[in-house]
Amino acid sequence: MSMTSIVTTRRGKPIDAWRWIGRIFLVMMLFYTAVPMAWMLLTSIKSGFAAMQLPPQWLPNEPTLASYKKLLDPNNSVGQDFLRFFWNSLFVSTMTTALAVIVAVPAAYAFSRFDFPGRKFLFFAVLLRNMFPAVIFLVPLFILMRLLGLVNTHGSLILTYLTFGLPLAIWLLKGFYDNIPYQLEQAARIDGATRFQAFVLIVMPLSAPGIVATAIYSFIGAWNEYIFAYTFLNKNEQLTLPVGIQRFFSENTTDFPGLMAASFMMSLPVVVLFLLLQRYFVRALTEGAVKH
Partner 1 sequence: MSTFNFGQAIRGGVSAAAITSLLMSSPVLGAPPVDLSKWSPEYVRSIAGTKDFDTAADCNKVTPLDYKGRLTFWYQGVFEGDPDLLRQYYKDFFAAFRKTYPNIDLQEQALTYNDLLDKFRTALLGNAGPMMVRLQILGGVEFASKGYLQELKPEDVGYATEDFWPGAMKSNMWKGKTYGIPTNNETMAFIWNADIFKRAGLDPDKPPATWDDVVKYSKQIHDKLGIAGYGLVARKNAGNTPYRFLPQLWGYGGSVFDETTQSPTYGRIEINSRASKQALQASYDMYVRDKSVPVSALTNQQADNQPLFLAGQLGMMISHPSDYDVMLDLKKKASGTDVQKAQTVIDNMRYGPIPTGPDGKRAVVFGGSNMHILKPEYVDGGKVDLPAAKALACFWASPEWSLKMAYAGSNPGNLNGFKTKWMKERLDNIKFLDVTTSMLPYGVPFPTIPETPEIMNIVVPDMLQNALTGAMTVDQATEDAAKKIKNIMSGGKL
Can you give the binding site for partner 1, defined by CB under 8 A? 47-54, 61-62, 64, 66, 77-78, 138-139, 142-143, 145-146, 151-152, 230-231, 234-236, 246-256, 258
Considering the complex, what minimum distance in angstroms separates the CB of residue 130 from partner 1?
A: 23
Considering the complex, what minimum distance in angstroms separates the CB of residue 76 from partner 1?
A: 11
Residue 157's nearest CA partner among 84, 244, 220, 228 is: 228
Nearer to partner 1, 152 or 197 (CB): 152
Q: What residue type is assigned to position 201 of the chain?
A: L
Nearer to partner 1, 40 or 277 (CB): 40
Nearer to partner 1, 4 or 253 (CB): 253
Nearer to partner 1, 5 or 250 (CB): 250
Alpha-carbon gap, residue 127 to 5, rounded angstroms? 47
Residues 6+ apart with CB under 8 A from 167: 126, 127, 129, 130
Alpha-carbon gap, residue 92 to 87, rounded angstroms? 9
DSSP string, 13-53: -B--HHHHHHHHHHHHHHHHHHHHHHHHHHHHTS-HHHHT-
Considering the complex, what minimum distance in angstroms separates the CB of residue 241 from partner 1?
A: 15
Nearer to partner 1, 9 or 61 (CB): 61
CA 136 to chain CA mean position, Å? 22
C-beta separation of 168 from 107 below 8 A: no
Nearer to partner 1, 67 or 93 (CB): 67
Considering the complex, what minimum distance in angstroms separates the CB of residue 49 from partner 1?
A: 4
Considering the complex, what minimum distance in angstroms separates the CB of residue 248 from partner 1?
A: 5
Considering the complex, what minimum distance in angstroms separates the CB of residue 128 from partner 1?
A: 25
Alpha-carbon gap, residue 91 to 97, rounded angstroms? 10
Residues 6+ apart with CB under 8 A from 27: none
Considering the complex, what minimum distance in angstroms separates the CB of residue 246 from partner 1?
A: 5
The SS3 of residue 275 is helix
Secondary structure (H, E, C), 114-145: CCCCCHHHHHHHHHHHHHCCHHHHHHHHHHHH
Q: What residue type is assigned to position 210 of the chain?
A: G
Considering the complex, what minimum distance in angstroms separates the CB of residue 135 from partner 1?
A: 11
Nearer to partner 1, 46 or 174 (CB): 46
Nearer to partner 1, 43 or 207 (CB): 43
Cβ-in-10-Å burial (0-12, 13-18, 19+) of 153 comes to: middle
